[in-house]
Structure 1
Amino acid sequence: MMWTQTEPGGDAWSHPEPLGIWPAGDAVSRCLPRLDVIRDGQGRLHVIAMRSVVGADHYDHLREVMHVQQDVADGPFGAWQSLGSPHEQHNFDRRRAVGIPVAVATGAGNPLVVLRNFGTGLSARNSFGQAWGNWRDLHGGTLDGACALTLKRGITEIYATTKTGMLRWYQQAPGGPLLHDYGTLLPRPAGSVTLLEQTDGRLVMIARQPSTGWLVAHRQREAGGAWNPQAELLDTTPGYGPIVTAELPQGGGVILIQRRDDGNLSISRQPLDGSPFHPQWTPVHSGPFVHTPSAAFDTAGRLVIAVIGPDADLHTLLVDQQATEPAEPAALQAAGK
């Protein structure tokens, strides 16, 4: 389902509508909760999901990646198509043992989808405009929860958690092959991480610390270089789940949004110029929220935070451009069913 602002930069939202056209006659499958959304080089939105089928016999079990896109930028969504899985030609046990897909737009502006495969490595599939290439094995041995980012210089980097640390796949040039880096020296985080590019080209990784749920950050020592394994502390309030980001226009930093252990959200504005992070966070009430929030800036320049509540309704918070984060505790409002 999807909700849309009734007018650009407006306060009101539409009623929920179907997102694209699901395959006709499919009454047995379910779309797993996590979606990934990216914008391609032509400004069109792409949505990646995981379709799951569960039957009485284990031969009926199936997981496959699904994809839908806008026909034109800001236009309607078309029909969902299956991207299959890396194990379509293998036994049924492998076919159902894949992770949740993650998408990123490459330097050429086309979608790239990666997921954990049965062998616990990563598999990837690229779009080349109107067609998709084959699934290919990137190898490695990871847990679920990969993270991918395409840098301003057009190269893509992928990071995934292992039992002992982090693995990295990277390009040396735009469009080049994804190479392995098994020696990042980064500690194992609790769950998936969030990647950001600083104004100087270095990457910063935001993760949760195991056992505590605290937020920490690691930075590259130089653009494309080694990581500093010494963490910076961002927040000592325990939380869970991935960190949501929205970069401010004109290089004004980034907004971080997290879920705390009490189920509510908190917001912080942090720099991306390489200066130290600060520990100030503003709580956002009206939870608990069990789903991951989303955030973006609308055409009025306001920060829009949206999350599905336990009532299955959309809850939103609009933050003025000048504030970029609430000056005092705020609350999300239901958009209406």
Structure 2
Amino acid sequence: MPLSEGEAALLDTSSPRGDQPTVHVQICAHLDDDLYFMNPDLQRAVRSGDEVLSIFLTAGEDDGKNALPDSVKYRNAPRDFSGYYGARVHGSQAAYAHMSGKDRSASWIHETVGLASGALAEHVFLEDAPHIGLILFSLAKRSRTGAVSSLHHLWEERIDQQDTLLRADSPITSVQQFTKADLIEDLAQLLVGLRPHVVRTLNPLPQKSAEAEGDVTSHDHREHEASALFAHAAIDRARRHGLSTTMLTYRGYENKYWPSNLDKTRLQEKHLTLTVYGRGRPNQPGDRKVGDAVRKRPYGNSCAVRRNTGAISLLRTTDGSCYAVGSLSASPVMWVPGASPSPEMQVAPDSLPGARILSDLAIVSSSRGLEVFALRSQSDEPLRRRTLEVVSARGSLQEGFTPWTTLGNPYERKAWYKQFGIGAPAAALGGDDRSYVFVRNFGSGLSCRIADKEGTWGKWLDLGGADLDTDLTTITSPDGCVHVFGNTPEGILCWSQEMSGGGFSVKLLKVGPPAGPPDVSLTDGGDFLVFWRTAESGEVGVIRMSPLDGNYTPPQLIGWGAGGTGRIAVTADPRQPATWLATRNAHGMAEFVCLLGDNLASVRRGIIPLPIIGGLAWAQTQDGQPLLATVTPIGNLMFCPTNS
């Protein structure tokens, strides 16, 4: 069957990617997941004029009642599964029209898309802005025989296949069926055709808890988790066909356990978009289960990227060489700018061995060479048969890297669900040339493995702590002691060695609720400057901390960073007693500030007018000028000047 014009454009692979606008793809379970958990990032992409396509795997028909639960209308509402699914589609159309600056009555075109499995999906796009669209797989919670099914059941192989739900205004008129293998292959086909620069998913490994052995509770919706697992499996398949993309995984319902990282303005914009989704289009009501009730749901009050995805780890070795590591298409990569990064320089990535990386990478340089660390998942099996492990590789691009060596998991011989509670690895090199790797553990404390000078790893150690988030920051003080920082809902936890190679003690830095992980720099006097975003504003706070006794100054705000989200990148200036900070601002662009001296007076501020997809890191020219590094849409590491 020949492709329609819209379908051919959707799956076109003829034009070179570099000639296209930035392409953003979201893969979600439900028609409001993107609005709840990926905004304002998604809205910025839509408003920028970039190509935006959101793929929804399920119909999300729930109980078929399009009314707010516990209301009189809900009690009297009929069960209409197809009708409620239609309302969710109308809501999504209204929301995307609103985000693009159009009226919610804007016209949409509906087409079918033939998939690799032979099944059909629906492609819906704005008539006046065809670069903004949706793809609907329409998987139903009930089969045609009435049996209960779900995306989670399909991933876990509790069912062999899942039926779709028909909708009145869809061009698809017959029920489609998808197996697990079909869905992975079909998503991979779409990704290869679209060649997205960025793919957003939900968290494939949300935190889990257990009241008793076998009674496991996920902190997120099981279909959110399953949609992310399908997405990651498809990206891995598409990678084998040349896909190179930045992946960002977002926290879902887990947001309600953490302070909000959005300021009032961004939160109001998000609530307005969700309200439009609830109201739908003229004469086509939206999802009334959302609507005006959105403000009561705290899981929508953040936009939080998890497990450090999209970040860059950058270091300079003792011989002056500069290295950066990260991941593209869930595969590890390294950028090597050499000894002389310069403004406007772009460096293409080199692949490292291995794949299916579920976090970005940490890197240290020791007498044994470069050592790289990541999280790896080994299979697409159901959760009880999957593994999640910290892995390490050692070497250089010139001489090659060793194959990935597993460092295991603090819980590999314990209850299966506990291994999925670990966070992204952070690494440090102690003054005694020993390598350290740290992860947040299932108990929300800190676990560590240490390699001796010959590179032999010891056992996993539990360093204590509680309520720790997944992403960590490490720093080694001038006396060779390793320090680890991470955020909790109440403040910042700091683990410190009292002597190089010694044990760790932990203390809570009472700075108020942070909106994300801290970053740390070293002053000329040997103190630490600890920076973090404050909850509900994003403004950056700071304390000065002594690495010797752990004492710290009262927290203060620096008058910078409000409205932004994401991690802060910090570096000391080798030319003067100054500290440079960079982050993503309220408009999604890179913003930097230079703070001078002990009083941290702001002496230079600037904005780099480029949308930031992933993370930021600092490098330096040969004469010590700070350069801001970020990954471009095509995967190059780019260095931006800060002297203008």
Q: Which residue of 1 aligns with 2:618?
A: 295
Q: Aligned partner of 1:268: which letter?
A: V
CA shift for structure 1 position 80:
2.1
Q: Structure 1 residue 143 and structure 2 residue 465: aligned? A: no
Work out the CA distance in 2 between the residues paired with 1:214 and 1:114.
28
Q: Aligned partner of 2:365: which letter?
A: R
CA shift for structure 1 position 190:
0.9
Pick the aligned partner of 2:362 from 33, 36, 39: 36
Pick the aligned partner of 1:254 from 579, 582, 593: 579
CA shift for structure 1 position 234:
4.1
Alignment check: 8 A CA contact 1:202 1:224 kept: no
Q: Where do 1:189-200 residues align within 5 Å? A: 189-200=514-525
Alignment check: 8 A CA contact 2:341 2:620 kept: no
Q: Which residue of 1 aligns with 2:588?
A: 263
Alignment check: 8 A CA contact 2:520 2:570 kept: no
Deviations 1:15-60 (A, max 9, x none): 43212x32xxxxxx611242222223x3833221111245342223
Q: Which residue of 1 aligns with 2:501?
A: 175
Q: Which residue of 2 aligns with 1:331?
A: none
Q: Which residue of 1 aligns with 2:605?
A: 281
Question: SS of the residue aligned with 1:5?
Answer: strand
Look at both structures and tell me which one has the larger radius of gyration over its CA atoms. 2
Q: Which residue of 1 aligns with 2:636?
A: 314
CA shift for structure 1 position 105:
1.2
Work out the CA distance in 2 between the residues paired with 1:15 and 1:162.
36
Question: SS of the residue aligned with 1:131?
Answer: coil
CA shift for structure 1 position 77:
3.2
Question: SS of the residue aligned with 1:256?
Answer: strand
Q: Structure 1 residue 2 and structure 2 residue 327: aligned? A: no
Work out the CA distance in 2 between the residues paired with 1:248 and 1:205.
16
Pick the aligned partner of 2:487 from 136, 144, 161: 161
CA shift for structure 1 position 97:
1.9
Question: SS of the residue aligned with 2:417?
Answer: helix
Q: Which residue of 2 aligns with 1:334?
A: none
Alignment check: 8 A CA contact 2:497 2:503 kept: yes
CA pair 12-285 structure 1, distance change in 2 beyond 3 A = closer
Alignment check: 8 A CA contact 1:235 1:279 kept: no
CA shift for structure 1 position 212:
0.3
Q: Where do 1:37-186 residues align within 5 Å? A: 37-40=363-366, 42=367, 44-53=369-378, 55-70=380-395, 76-129=400-453, 130-141=455-466, 142-182=468-508, 184-186=509-511
CA shift for structure 1 position 76:
4.0
Work out the CA distance in 1 between the residues paired with 2:553 and 2:418.
37
CA shift for structure 1 position 160:
2.2
CA shift for structure 1 position 128:
0.9
CA pair 250-44 structure 1, distance change in 2 beyond 3 A = farther
CA shift for structure 1 position 290:
2.3
Question: SS of the residue aligned with 1:278?
Answer: strand
Work out the CA distance in 2 between the residues paired with 1:252 and 1:44.
31
Question: SS of the residue aligned with 1:100?
Answer: coil
Question: SS of the residue aligned with 2:451?
Answer: strand
CA shift for structure 1 position 138:
0.7
Q: Which residue of 2 aligns with 1:18?
A: 351
Question: SS of the residue aligned with 1:3?
Answer: strand
Work out the CA distance in 1 between the residues paired with 2:620 and 2:370.
15
CA shift for structure 1 position 4:
2.8
Alignment check: 8 A CA contact 2:348 2:637 kept: no
Alignment check: 8 A CA contact 2:371 2:394 kept: yes
Alignment check: 8 A CA contact 2:521 2:571 kept: no
Work out the CA distance in 2 between the residues paired with 1:269 and 1:201.
19
Q: Aligned partner of 1:256: which letter?
A: L
CA shift for structure 1 position 112:
0.8
Q: Any stretches of 5+ residues in structure 2 without a counterpart?
A: 1-332
Question: SS of the residue aligned with 2:372?
Answer: strand
CA shift for structure 1 position 251:
5.0
Question: SS of the residue aligned with 1:55?
Answer: coil
Work out the CA distance in 2 between the residues paired with 1:155 and 1:189.
25
Task: Count residues in correspondence.
Answer: 309
TM-score of the aligned structures, taking structure 2 as reference length:
0.45
CA shift for structure 1 position 151:
0.4
Q: Where do 1:181-260 residues align within 5 Å? A: 181-182=507-508, 184-220=509-545, 224-250=549-575, 252-260=577-585
Higher strand content, 1 or 2? 1
Question: What percentage of aligned pairs have identical amino acids?
Answer: 22
Deviations 1:265-301 (A, max 9, x none): 0122223x423232742000121x2211222124464
CA shift for structure 1 position 259:
1.0
In terms of mean alpha carbon deviation, does 200-209 or 50-59 score higher?
A: 50-59
Deviations 1:130-159 (A, max 9, x none): 211111111111222222211011112222
CA shift for structure 1 position 302:
4.8
In terms of mean alpha carbon deviation, does 54-63 or 130-139 score higher?
A: 54-63
Alignment check: 8 A CA contact 2:373 2:393 kept: yes
Work out the CA distance in 1 between the residues paired with 2:451 and 2:606.
40
Q: Aligned partner of 2:583: which letter?
A: Q
Work out the CA distance in 1 between the residues paired with 2:365 and 2:338.
21
CA pair 236-191 structure 1, distance change in 2 beyond 3 A = closer
Higher helix content, 1 or 2? 2
Work out the CA distance in 1 between the residues paired with 2:545 and 2:623.
34
CA shift for structure 1 position 178:
0.5
Alignment check: 8 A CA contact 1:233 1:279 kept: no
Deviations 1:172-231 (A, max 9, x none): 11111111224x333231110011222222221100010001111111379534222331
Q: Structure 1 residue 326 and structure 2 residue 638: aligned? A: no
Q: Which has the higher contact order (CA 8 A, sep 6+)?
A: 2
Alignment check: 8 A CA contact 1:6 1:14 kept: no
Work out the CA distance in 2 between the residues paired with 1:307 and 1:120.
30
CA pair 202-122 structure 1, distance change in 2 beyond 3 A = same
Alignment check: 8 A CA contact 1:218 1:232 kept: no
CA pair 52-277 structure 1, distance change in 2 beyond 3 A = farther
Alignment check: 8 A CA contact 1:108 1:175 kept: yes
TM-score of the aligned structures, taking structure 1 as reference length:
0.82
CA shift for structure 1 position 114:
0.8
